[in-house]
């Protein structure tokens, strides 16, 4: 999505001298060799004009592998539309051809300058400002070169411009591999499913529960703050009398009960490779068994629940199956990041001490999708 947005922006680039739109089929790229008169059509429509050539900038999305990271990198290039390049047959001179090559070369210089701005991961607003600045400068230089060289007829001035443009190109390298380092901050979401097994006296009253879970993962360096919510169902293994205000409400055997948890934990990465990350964690958990019940023949409903606030600890293992990096800043937050998709497997134990039952534990396992974005800095 971000790369697509950049290409759309580039479609507005250099509206007076050149533009990027739907690329024509019959083109010649700057890196395919010097211009020849075979690249021009003959025309006598414009009297007194030696030739006409318009340079354009195109963009292509490249996908490079740097270790385990896939880097999405938009690469620009300069080209001409061969169907729109023409020359008067009486002016096919070496000087006129060199003049057109200088026009082409100057475009290549600004293409490289814009590529450097993109490779830095600049925000969209700064890239737009660079586009406008390059456009105005290019127009001014082409006008001056045309007047001073008389479209290539003034040999001395043409040599001066050729030398000047060659110096610009030599001082500005084309696109190079993206060089970046991860920063301290990261954030992600976790979506999955849990199974929890009650132990001790709890196992006498409840069956294992299945839950859907949603979590948030905020990181600073190797330390992670984890917040998870899970909700699902279990089934009663025995009749129970649950206090509600000043009375007792019966939970019948073999009926379903809602089981939900909210836990807040701190984790620390003890191992992190290009494929696997291992992180133990510990924190606090709030858990609740609840039912919505009819209390009379008119079907008036009440929520009856027992809750506990206690400790939880466990271990997560992330298997990374995709890490993507785009040189374009995040569309949402404006910063640059790499995004890792992984399968998160988690095992944990939470302590439980409900008023009505003897103490026990919940032993759980979960499988989830973890999408984690780590901010990066381009060198």
Question: Do 74 and 198 fall into the same domain?
Answer: no
Measured distance CA(13)–CA(19) in Å, rounded: 6
CA distance 183 to 262: 29
Contacts for 176 with CB less than 8 Å, ≥ 6 apart: 119
d(CA 306, CA 244): 10
Residues 45 and 101 grouped into a single domain? yes
pLDDT tens-place string over residues 81-112: 888 888 888 888 899 999 999 999 999 999 99
Do 79 and 32 lie in one domain? The reply is yes
Cβ density class 73-97: b for 16+ within 10 Å, e for less? bbebbbbbbbeebbbbeebeeebbb
| Residue 51: CB atoms within 10 Å | 24
DSSP, collapsed to helix, strand or coil, labels residue 276 as strand
Last residue of a domain, one of 161, 178, 195: 178
Asked whether residue 188 falls in the same domain as residue 148, the answer is no
Do 67 and 170 lie in one domain? The reply is: yes
Asked if residues 82 and 53 have their Cβ atoms less than 8 Å apart, the reply is no
Q: Using CA atoms, how far apart are residues 323 and 274, in angstroms rounded to an integer?
A: 9
15 falls in which pLDDT band (50, 70, 90)?
A: very low
Q: What is the mean pLDDT of residues 203-208?
A: 90
pTM recorded for the entire structure: 0.68
Both 157 and 194 in one domain: the answer is no
Report the pLDDT value the prediction gives residue 90, as an integer from 0 to 100.
Answer: 80
Q: Are 49 and 112 within one domain?
A: yes
Please state, in angstroms and rounded to a whole number, the distance separating the CA atoms of residues 154 and 54. 21
In 3D space, the residue among 189, 202, 187, 188 whose CA is nearest the CA of residue 349 turns out to be: 202
The pLDDT > 90 percentage for the chain reads 44
Q: 180 pLDDT band (50/70/90 cuts)?
A: confident
Q: Which domain holds residue 283?
A: 181-378
Q: Hey, what are 280's tokens?
A: 């133990």
The answer, yes or no, to whether residue 287 has pLDDT greater than 60, is yes
Is residue 76 scored above 60 in pLDDT? yes
Indicate whether 289 pLDDT > 50: yes
Domain count, the chain: 2
The residue length of the chain stands at 379
**151 and 233 both lie in a single domain:** no
Say whether both 167 and 240 belong to one domain.
no
- Looking at the fold, whether 77 and 161 belong to one and the same domain comes out as yes
| Residues 151 and 202 grouped into a single domain | no
Domain final residue, candidates 148, 178, 208: 178
Residue 376 has pLDDT above 50, yes or no: yes
pLDDT at 375 over 70: yes
If asked whether residues 174 and 295 sit together in one domain, one would say no
Measured CA to CA, the distance from residue 266 to residue 69 in angstroms comes to 27
Output the domain CATH number for residue 199.
2.40.160.20
pLDDT tier, 299 (very low <50, low <70, confident <90, very high otherwise): low
CB 325 within 8 A of CB 338: yes
178, 212, 235 - which closes a domain = 178
Alpha carbons 379 and 122: distance in angstroms, whole number: 12
């Amino acid at each position: 999505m971000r790369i697509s947005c950049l290409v759309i922006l580039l479609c507005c680039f250099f509206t007076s001298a050149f533009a990027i739109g739907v690329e024509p089929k019959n083109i010649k790229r700057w890196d395919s060799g010097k211009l020849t008169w075979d690249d021009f059509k003959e025309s006598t429509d414009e009297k007194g004009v030696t030739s006409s050539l318009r340079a354009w900038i195109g963009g292509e999305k490249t996908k490079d592998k740097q270790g385990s990271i896939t880097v999405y990198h938009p690469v620009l290039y300069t080209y001409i539309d061969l169907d729109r390049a023409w020359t008067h047959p009486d002016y096919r001179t070496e000087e006129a051809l060199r003049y057109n090559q200088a026009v082409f070369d100057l475009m290549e210089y600004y293409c490289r300058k814009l590529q450097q701005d993109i490779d830095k991961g600049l925000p969209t607003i700064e890239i737009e400002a660079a586009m406008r600045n390059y456009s105005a400068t290019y127009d001014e230089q082409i006008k001056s070169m045309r007047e001073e060289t008389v479209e290539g007829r003034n040999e001395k001035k043409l040599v001066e411009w050729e030398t000047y443009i060659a110096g610009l190109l030599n001082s500005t390298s084309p696109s190079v591999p993206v060089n970046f380092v991860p920063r301290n901050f990261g954030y992600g979401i976790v979506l999955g499913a849990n199974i929890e097994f009650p132990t001790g006296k709890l196992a006498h009253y409840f069956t294992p529960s299945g839950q859907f879970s949603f979590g948030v993962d905020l990181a600073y360096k190797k330390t992670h703050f984890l917040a998870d919510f899970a909700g699902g169902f279990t089934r009663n293994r025995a009749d129970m009398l649950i206090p509600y205000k000043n009375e007792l409400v019966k939970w019948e055997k073999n009926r379903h009960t809602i089981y939900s948890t909210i836990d807040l934990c701190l984790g620390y990465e003890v191992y992190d490779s290009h494929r696997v990350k291992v992180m133990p964690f510990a924190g606090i958990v709030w858990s609740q068994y609840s039912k919505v019940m009819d209390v009379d023949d008119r079907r008036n409903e009440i929520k009856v629940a027992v809750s506990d606030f206690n400790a939880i600890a466990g271990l997560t293992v992330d298997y990374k199956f995709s890490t993507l990096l785009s040189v374009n800043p995040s569309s949402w937050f404006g910063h640059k990041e790499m995004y890792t998709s992984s399968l998160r497997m988690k095992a944990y134990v939470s302590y439980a001490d409900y008023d009505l039952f003897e103490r026990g534990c919940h032993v759980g396992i979960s499988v989830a999708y973890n999408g984690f974005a780590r901010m990066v800095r381009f060198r």
